[in-house]
Amino acid sequence: MTSIIQNIVRQFRFQGEFIFIERFGNGHINGTFAVYFKTRTNHPVRYILQIINTNVFKRPDQVMSNVNEVTRFLKAKITEAGGDPMRETLSPILTQDGKLYYEDKNGSFWRAYTFIDDAACYETITSPELFYKVGKAFGKFQNMLADFPVDKLYDTIPRFHDTVKRYEDLEAAIAADPKKRAASVKDEIEFVRERKADCGVVLELIEKGEVLRRVTHNDTKLNNVMIDNKTGDGICVIDLDTVMQGSALYDFGDSVRFGASSAAEDEPDISKVYMDISLFDEYTRGFLKEVRHSLTQGEIDHLAFSAKLMTLECGIRFLTDYLNGDLYFKTTRPRQNLDRARTQFKLVADMESKMDKMNAIVHRYAGM
């Protein structure tokens, strides 16, 4: 394996003399390595090397085209604002023949980035202030890309946040019922069916032009923001593989879904699950501090709703996978996907009970 990796390393325009390579990070999709090189400086220089998971990303060329277009645009904006473009966005390393990725003889696709030092990603929220900083980082990301020409982006995962399609997939799974599980989840199925009308709201707003089609990250979890070790500020949004056209509502809603929950995503005891309104407040404050002037009225009015929608969509996906036999999401125990679905539905119900407060928070920070 070492000789294979060393051969891959030689395909990229890394600077310095290769020292060694090691596994890096906790990513669940792509295989990630840190590559160390000796230079004339006192410390080794690191790069990130990744093998792209082509089971998830069928067209890695399109993925890397999107990454390149977005990071080039961001670098120009960051430079114009007097920032550090090598630290505040990802910087792809080209292959020896000038490409954004290398395809090896086995048909595997590799890509590389510069390493952002003196910063870290967090897996859990250690303080409300951290969630505020994450909100600011994703808000800034949206704001800088507000005038990006979205037609340049490939739709690398078609209909990814099409909640209507997710609902239809669930109904198909119920009808097929390949594992004979539908009878045991009647309450969960009814919960979703009662909220069928919610599924098409954002798509209808996009069609009307009240919500704009924008660049969206589509994986706005806490650990996709790099936090500066010295200042504690969010300096760089990473993991741009799912960047494509969508709605700012998707990114906001998914962050709240993941970050403002009181419990783990697969918590079996749903009595422990609720949406922490104080964390919603902190994230919203940070997000809108950066992007409120770029959002339409329709987007502002539906930010709180988007948290419910993205949580409902995620629960639908977990329930669908449970009915289909746990084919998509990795599981480590029986009924884990069902537990995941139930936590999401508990969050949805809790958000519904707090929606007036959530809307008030949004409009306060939007300056209304």
Write the DSSP assignment of 319-330 as a string of letters.
HHHHHHTS-SS-
Which pLDDT belongs to residue 191?
A: 98
> Is residue 41 over pLDDT 90?
no
Angle CA 109–111–116, to nearest 5: 155
Rounded to whole angstroms, the Cα distance separating 45 from 209 reads 47
> Is residue 29 over pLDDT 60?
no
3-state helix, strand, coil in the chain (%, to 5): 50, 15, 35
**CATH label, 2-74+90-117, candidates 2.60.40.10, 3.30.200.20, 3.30.70.1050, 1.20.210.10:** 3.30.200.20
pLDDT digits (tens, 9 = 90+) for 276-299: 999 999 999 999 999 999 999 999
Rounded to whole angstroms, the Cα distance separating 223 from 258 reads 11
pLDDT digits (tens, 9 = 90+) for 56-69: 788 999 999 999 99
Which pLDDT belongs to residue 87?
A: 95
What mean pLDDT comes out for the span 319-335? 94
Handedness of CA 152, 145, 297, 351 (dihedral sign): positive
Which pLDDT belongs to residue 28?
A: 46
One fold for 2-74+90-117 and 128-365: no
Which pLDDT belongs to residue 326?
A: 95
Handedness of CA 54, 59, 65, 71 (dihedral sign): negative
The domains of the chain are located at 2-74+90-117, 128-365
User: Nearest CA to 56 among 239, 193, 226, 205?
Assistant: 239
35 near 46, Cβ under 8 Å? Answer: yes
**Start-to-end Cα distance in the chain:** 58
> Is residue 345 over pLDDT 70?
yes
Consecutive H or E run containing 47:
strand 45-52
Rounded to whole angstroms, the Cα distance separating 312 from 303 reads 14
**CATH label, 128-365, candidates 2.10.109.10, 2.30.130.30, 3.10.450.50, 3.90.1200.10:** 3.90.1200.10
> Is residue 26 over pLDDT 60?
no
- To the nearest whole number, what is the mean pLDDT of the chain? 94
264, two tokens: 């783990």
- Counting residues of the chain whose pLDDT is more than 90, the rounded percentage is 83
pLDDT digits (tens, 9 = 90+) for 148-181: 999 999 999 888 899 999 999 999 999 999 999 9
pLDDT digits (tens, 9 = 90+) for 172-212: 999 999 999 999 999 999 999 999 999 999 999 999 999 99
Which pLDDT belongs to residue 368?
A: 60
CA distances (Å), origin 334, targets 196, 266, 324, 330:
28, 11, 13, 11
Rounded to whole angstroms, the Cα distance separating 191 from 49 reads 43
Which pLDDT belongs to residue 180?
A: 98
330, two tokens: 């990795």
105, two tokens: 């003889």
What mean pLDDT comes out for the span 90-100? 97
User: Nearest CA to 256 among 224, 206, 222, 231?
Assistant: 222
Least confident of 20-24, 26-30, 251-255: 26-30
User: Nearest CA to 199 among 349, 304, 298, 310?
Assistant: 310
pLDDT digits (tens, 9 = 90+) for 117-141: 999 999 889 899 999 999 999 999 9
Which pLDDT belongs to residue 330?
A: 86
